[in-house]
Structure 1
Amino acid sequence: MSDSETEKPILGRKPLGLKRTVEAGQVQQSFSHGRKNTVVVEVKRRRIIGKPGEAEAPPVQAEPVKPKPAPAPAPKAPPPSPRVSAQDSLMSRQELQAKLLREAEEARMNALEEARRRQETERQRAAEEERRRADEKQEVEEKVTTQEVRAEEAPAGEPLVTQTPVENAPEQAGTEEVAKETVERAPPPRKFTPVAAPKRPEPKPARAKGDHDRRQSGKLTVTRALTDGGDGGARARSLAALKRAREKEKRLIGGGSREPQVKQVRDVIVPEGITVQELANRMAEKGADLVKSLFKMGTPVTINEVIDQDTAELLVEEFGHRIQRVSESDVELGIEGSEDATETLKPRAPVVTIMGHVDHGKTSLLDALRGTDVVAGEAGGITQHIGAYQVQVATGDKITFLDTPGHEAFTEMRARGANVTDIVILVVAADDGLMPQTIEAINHTKAAGVPMIVAINKIDRENADPNKVRTRLLEHEIVVEQMGGDVQDVEVSALKKIGLDELVEKILLQAELLELTANPDRQAEGTVIEAKLDKGRGPVATILVRKGTLKVGDIFVVGAESGKVRAMTNEKGQQLKEAGPSMPVEVLGLSGVPSAGDLLSVVENEARAREVAAYRQEVITKKRTTSAPSSVEHMFSVLNDRMIEYPVVIKGDVQGSVEAIIGSLAKASTDEIKVRVLHSGVGAITESDVTLAGASNAPIIGFNVRPNAKARVVAEREKVRLKYYDVIYDLIEEIKGEMAGELGPERIETVVGRAEIRDVFSAGKHGKAAGLLVTDGFIRKALKARVTRDDVIIYNGEIASLRRFKDDVAEVRAGLECGVTFVGHTDIKPGDYLETYEVEERARTL
């Protein structure tokens, strides 16, 4: 082939040229907190130069692109392969190498320019971030969040993501060395705009793990919230985490862990009973630690269980605290108040109690002193409850009188009167002398330690003997002035009004000797003389003020009840605004009926009054409900006891009368039968009282009270017995009779005769007959008979036949022999004894 043919162009052959070997694109980088950066990414492809006429090898890309097919050749025979001269081939290679170096230099310059810009931007952002972190640290004193830490750890100049394909290793190494030397000697970078690459479908760059669309970086979805680390730092930290981070930072700043704190020793107030949890709260300890300690002590308890004071003390000492024991009764501390200073005391009226035997003229004497008639108002002519009155005598002085019942049933009321009084007037009838209740009143007076004035009453009667009374008083160590003693006595007559002025003088003289004083300018304290439930006014209590001044509106606690003084009245029914020392008044406004003898104390507020009343009520309930048998033996003995119980329901007009009735019925109880009080109270008989009595088949005893309308209807329907009394004598006697009736008639057995069995014979249809020798009394056929063997009864029945020799006789006396057969009994032997006896039934009395 000639040269001319070689230089001719070959049909179907592409002209020799250079294609662009660098494709440029832009990638958006994402950082924390929504920051973005645009980076130019260049992809270099390997250039493969094939022989003329051969198809080009496809470039190495992220995704292979199919090469364009070569143009179809002419239908002529394939021409011979074109040949390129060595000179042309060398020139083409040098030009290609120069072009590659030029393009590499341009790419390097662009990369350096972009890197410089990025570094400048990163420095500015880092400075702003540093300032922001400093501000946050000052405000919340916490460490930067995990996302900020990641932003700090990221390098300011991130390496350029560039893939540079090389033709071969030696050429690439040479190019890199040349590029390195050029960079060192390069002038300041200049802007260079690369030639846009042909648009080709490129693969979407893969997203790194944790990279999210920054347009939604501010949103927190459920998936991002539940995915660990998937929130991109947008999830807020909890307060506990912030606190832990702050504490950790303080420890690091302080140079390591802090020294252990010294345990705080506390004063723990421990009542008589306390739960484990409450004790843990007061000790500032964990309840589980206390339960664990108790388990170690051998006391398995729960955290809500109540432990006693001794166990609580062991726990408190084990945990290094100090215990302060308190009692539930401490709630009453300060109720009675402190002692009054001497300069605050002022004279007060004496409180005089009239005591003595029933029907000796106590109330009549008081009537004469008061100028009124009280006896006419008392049922049966006897005082059923304590009366309190204040009398102003002719001299202008005031005296408070308490009239106590004299019947034996009112022992408690007399004792209560003696305990609240200053002076006792012992009334003794000159014709009767000393009686049982008189002696009892003397004992109460001695126990109370108060002075006594003996008033010998009824001296106007013919058989009056005052000296006999004075002599009998010596038996009880009461020596009157006329007999050389120190006890004042005066002869009076309530009916004829004799000696009343002398009695008043002696009372005032005794009061002057006692120097009775009290402080009226303080909170009032008093004693309940009597209490009742009034239908229209509710609970009413007769209060004897001892200290201070009781005013309308005062808040008080009395026994297990509390209240507020709504109104006060004196014995004449007059309304009072205040009552001073030694003055008896009726007080309205109580929450319930208190017990006679309870103390009244004025407190600062209603809460304190309710608290004290609740504690006292709890104590009363505990006493009533814990009266269990002391031992198992005692419990079984009670169960096996055949004692008959007589149940009753007692309602009275005043508290003192109810107490007297209960005490009297308790004394009437015997070993065979006893009274069981199902319920007692003050006030009218109610429907609930009738229901209770009907369930137990018990009578209702009403003392000076009657049932209401509903109670009467229920009582008729349930057939409940209602017993009304106004005199305590009748009440006690009738209840005793009914109790005796429950026991039935009394059986009295009398042994009539006694005989010894000497021999035993066959008696045909009667079994066996006994040959007897009557040793004592007589044997009678009509009497009951029993056979004893070694003093053990083996038969108790009747005699079937009694014969002497072969004759039937009705009676055989001592010293004679006889034959006897028994009804349905044949187990008799020689040496047994026969007794005949008779049974007499008598009405039982208690």
Structure 2
Amino acid sequence: MIKVGMDAEASYDHLLSSEYASLLAMEFGRNPVINDEAAFDIYPPPAHPDPSSLPPRPPVVTIMGHVDHGKTTLLDTLRSTSVAKGEAGGITQHIGAFSVPVPASGGGSETRTITFLDTPGHAAFSAMRARGAGVTDIVVLVVAADDGIMPQTQEVIDLVKKENVGVVVAINKIDKPGVDVSKVEHALMAADVQLETFGGDIPAVQVSGLTGQGLDQLVETLSALAEMQDLRAEREGTLHGYVLESRVQKGLGPVATVLILRGCLKSSDHIIAGLTHAKTRAMTDSNGQAVKEAYPGMAVTVPGWKELPNAGDEVLKGTESEVKKALANRIRKAEMEATLSDMETINEQRRHEREQREMEAEMEAAGIEKPEPHAGEQESPKELRLIIKGDVSGSVEAVAGALQGIGNNIARVKIIATGVGDVTESDIMRAKTAEAGAVVAFSVAVPRLVQNEAAKQQVPVLMSSIIYRLMDDVKERVIALLPPIIERRVTGEANVLQLFDIHLKAKKIMKVAGCRVSNGVVDRAKLARVVRNGEIVHEGRLGTLKHLKKDITEATKGLECGMAFENYDDLREGDLIQVYQEIEKPGIL
């Protein structure tokens, strides 16, 4: 038997990975040579030696900006459709790609195609917006004239500075009364966006997505900028593209939206993306029309994937045998990396445990007692474990990223599984087995039978198509894991004016403080404390509250009374007695 991992052994007929086989060979003093055939993969094509000889391709324009600044409405007007109405809350929840014919710059009857990427505007989709910028030629930064620079606006500004892309500013909602465009322009300049108006190189166009005002000028500006970039790409040969989004579609199974950057995607092509593959069959364009060929700058919907690809995966083409061979090696490599990662985690855990034991042994030998943990201290944070299901892979990724960041070192979110498609009974049982705090259903259905099973298993299902509502719901559940905050609210105060000795039976003497209530109501049933020179010297309960030798339950402002504490008789003249109640409030993240 030979060891192949921390806890695994291989017999004589066990197949070893190339990595383990190499390590084994080196143990016996041999220099291993890995067969390139076993490590076969498909890679993006190299840059063309003469780009100027290639045919022109449509520019890819990404619309970016702060939430609710009118990005999707702007695109709606350009393509004469209404996507915003179909989106939850009017906010785009995942990347959409649309090819729009527009007049070429310089006028005339000629037209050119511009492919627009409509990326989400919510902060939680930062990663998806960044992916959109990675495949784009021009970014249209939409800024609302009635709102100005907002957090996501600044985020996009910082993003495009890192990318070699053209930028056009669209100052939107100029049709609203009372807007001051110059104020927005100055704010952009202050954010280091060098506008042409002030001698810079970034054009700014005033538009209204609602009325269409200024859109002709925006299109002309985009066309001119695209012509200046002289965008070209091979229309034949090796394919290179990216998955913009993926989802499970009823009747079609796993479906992906693919943006072509180079080459041509044809029907019956074998393609690979990440750890899955497909044979293209019924491709459709952004208008739902069937197409047999897709060229650079086009976004097409491709069904037929064996598994869902991830948003952002590179799409490459090969023969059937090449794709299958590359896929097998990719899966093998991914499994190996996961195994090595698990081994590293185990080794790190064992090293930590060993060091802990050694430290405890040294402390015991030195006669040092192991310190007790402080009150409220815990070794690891509490976790709200979640399973996330969504409509498309890009949305699932973004939702997971947004929810993963909720919490602190006391309580936090942990994503234990994600998937695309409707919530199933298997998801509920998995959540029950893994002791998950909830199943998150983002823009997907939860059938009645599944809801009944969830209720039976007492597994909460959080359903919404608006991500920030999910974030609020999850945040409330994480807060519930935090220790509550105990707020002490003073309801009455009394000043000690004089001390008296009262003789009781069996020759006992009780010290009673003669007091006057200065604020609120002193309630004998509530907690009380003694404040001396600004410091609390005692906390407890009142054992005596009298007025004119008569026992009372409460004393109001201005009333003189006698007070004595249970098990405390060190009251002094000038002390302040405060009566308070403890109010339990949720913790704060």
Amino acid at match of 1:726: S
- Deviation (angstroms), 1:722: 3.4
Whether the 8 Å CA contact 1:406–1:437 is kept in 2: the answer is yes
1:531 matched to 2:246? The reply is yes
Q: Which has the higher contact order (CA 8 A, sep 6+)?
A: 2
- Deviation (angstroms), 1:529: 0.8
1:404 matched to 2:119? The reply is yes
Matches for 1:339-354 after TM superposition, within 5 Å: 339-342=47-50, 345-354=54-63
Amino acid at match of 1:678: I
Amino acid at match of 1:680: T
Matches for 1:534-573 after TM superposition, within 5 Å: 534-573=249-288
| Aligned partner of residue 336 in structure 1, secondary structure | coil
Whether the 8 Å CA contact 1:524–1:602 is kept in 2: the answer is yes
| Aligned partner of residue 445 in structure 2, secondary structure | coil
Stretches of structure 1 that go unaligned for 5 or more consecutive residues are 1-270, 280-302
Matches for 1:449-598 after TM superposition, within 5 Å: 449-598=164-313
- Deviation (angstroms), 1:452: 0.6
**Aligned length, in residue pairs:** 542
| Aligned partner of residue 714 in structure 1, secondary structure | helix
Amino acid at match of 1:654: V
| Aligned partner of residue 429 in structure 2, secondary structure | helix
Work out which of the residue numbers 404, 417, 440 in structure 2 matches 1:679.
417
- Deviation (angstroms), 1:470: 0.8
| Aligned partner of residue 146 in structure 2, secondary structure | coil
RMSD across aligned C-alpha pairs, in angstroms?
4.6
- Deviation (angstroms), 1:645: 3.1
Query: Cα gap change, 1:339/1:642 in structure 2, threshold over 3 Å: closer, same or farther?
Result: closer
Query: Cα gap change, 1:835/1:313 in structure 2, threshold over 3 Å: closer, same or farther?
Result: farther
Taking the aligned partners of 1:358 and 1:524, their CA distance within structure 2 comes to 34
| Aligned partner of residue 801 in structure 1, secondary structure | strand
For 2:368, the equivalent position in structure 1 comes to: none
Taking the aligned partners of 1:680 and 1:777, their CA distance within structure 2 comes to 60
Query: Cα gap change, 1:800/1:686 in structure 2, threshold over 3 Å: closer, same or farther?
Result: same
Query: Does 716-725 or 553-562 show the bigger shift?
Result: 716-725
Amino acid at match of 1:839: E
Whether the 8 Å CA contact 2:248–2:392 is kept in 1: the answer is yes
Query: Does 381-390 or 593-602 show the bigger shift?
Result: 593-602
Whether the 8 Å CA contact 1:458–1:494 is kept in 2: the answer is yes
Matches for 1:134-283 after TM superposition, within 5 Å: none
Amino acid at match of 1:359: D
Taking the aligned partners of 2:138 and 2:464, their CA distance within structure 1 comes to 33
Whether the 8 Å CA contact 2:133–2:160 is kept in 1: the answer is yes
**Per-residue displacement from partner, 1:195-227 (whole Å, max 9, x unpaired)?**
xxxxxxxxxxxxxxxxxxxxxxxxxxxxxxxxx
Taking the aligned partners of 1:466 and 1:437, their CA distance within structure 2 comes to 19
For 1:48, the equivalent position in structure 2 comes to: none
1:726 matched to 2:478? The reply is no
Matches for 1:112-127 after TM superposition, within 5 Å: none
Query: Cα gap change, 1:278/1:651 in structure 2, threshold over 3 Å: closer, same or farther?
Result: closer
Amino acid at match of 1:362: K
Whether the 8 Å CA contact 2:41–2:325 is kept in 1: the answer is no
Query: Cα gap change, 1:841/1:570 in structure 2, threshold over 3 Å: closer, same or farther?
Result: same
- Deviation (angstroms), 1:552: 2.4
For 1:135, the equivalent position in structure 2 comes to: none
Taking the aligned partners of 2:531 and 2:20, their CA distance within structure 1 comes to 63
For 2:314, the equivalent position in structure 1 comes to: 599
Query: Does 553-562 or 742-751 show the bigger shift?
Result: 742-751
1:703 matched to 2:442? The reply is yes
Taking the aligned partners of 2:494 and 2:22, their CA distance within structure 1 comes to 71
Query: Cα gap change, 1:412/1:840 in structure 2, threshold over 3 Å: closer, same or farther?
Result: same
Whether the 8 Å CA contact 1:770–1:821 is kept in 2: the answer is no
**Per-residue displacement from partner, 1:251-276 (whole Å, max 9, x unpaired)?**
xxxxxxxxxxxxxxxxxxxx999x99
- Deviation (angstroms), 1:842: 4.7
| Aligned partner of residue 282 in structure 2, secondary structure | strand
1:663 matched to 2:371? The reply is no
- Deviation (angstroms), 1:685: 1.0
Whether the 8 Å CA contact 2:62–2:140 is kept in 1: the answer is yes
Percent identity, aligned pairs only, is 35
| Aligned partner of residue 81 in structure 2, secondary structure | coil
TM-score by length of 1: 0.56
Taking the aligned partners of 1:348 and 1:693, their CA distance within structure 2 comes to 48
1:613 matched to 2:330? The reply is yes
| Aligned partner of residue 400 in structure 1, secondary structure | strand
Taking the aligned partners of 1:639 and 1:819, their CA distance within structure 2 comes to 38
TM-score by length of 2: 0.78
- Deviation (angstroms), 1:720: 3.9
Amino acid at match of 1:350: P
Whether the 8 Å CA contact 2:259–2:298 is kept in 1: the answer is yes
Whether the 8 Å CA contact 2:41–2:330 is kept in 1: the answer is no
Taking the aligned partners of 1:657 and 1:758, their CA distance within structure 2 comes to 71
Amino acid at match of 2:45: G
Whether the 8 Å CA contact 1:562–1:613 is kept in 2: the answer is no
Taking the aligned partners of 1:411 and 1:558, their CA distance within structure 2 comes to 22
1:337 matched to 2:45? The reply is yes
Query: Cα gap change, 1:478/1:762 in structure 2, threshold over 3 Å: closer, same or farther?
Result: farther
1:646 matched to 2:407? The reply is no
Taking the aligned partners of 1:523 and 1:353, their CA distance within structure 2 comes to 25
Amino acid at match of 1:705: V
Whether the 8 Å CA contact 1:652–1:683 is kept in 2: the answer is yes
1:781 matched to 2:524? The reply is yes
Amino acid at match of 1:820: A
Amino acid at match of 1:707: V
Amino acid at match of 2:457: E
Query: Does 571-580 or 755-764 show the bigger shift?
Result: 755-764
| Aligned partner of residue 406 in structure 1, secondary structure | coil
Highest CA radius of gyration, 1 or 2? 1
- Deviation (angstroms), 1:427: 1.0
- Deviation (angstroms), 1:773: 9.5
Taking the aligned partners of 1:665 and 1:571, their CA distance within structure 2 comes to 31
Task: Identify, as 1 or 2, the structure richer in strand.
Answer: 2
Taking the aligned partners of 2:383 and 2:313, their CA distance within structure 1 comes to 31
Work out which of the residue numbers 557, 564, 581 in structure 2 matches 1:820.
564
Whether the 8 Å CA contact 1:383–1:404 is kept in 2: the answer is yes
Matches for 1:798-817 after TM superposition, within 5 Å: 798-802=541-545
Taking the aligned partners of 1:374 and 1:838, their CA distance within structure 2 comes to 54
Task: Identify, as 1 or 2, the structure richer in helix.
Answer: 1
Taking the aligned partners of 2:50 and 2:228, their CA distance within structure 1 comes to 18
Whether the 8 Å CA contact 2:317–2:323 is kept in 1: the answer is no
Amino acid at match of 1:800: G
Matches for 1:9-88 after TM superposition, within 5 Å: none
Amino acid at match of 1:659: E
| Aligned partner of residue 281 in structure 2, secondary structure | strand
- Deviation (angstroms), 1:761: 9.6
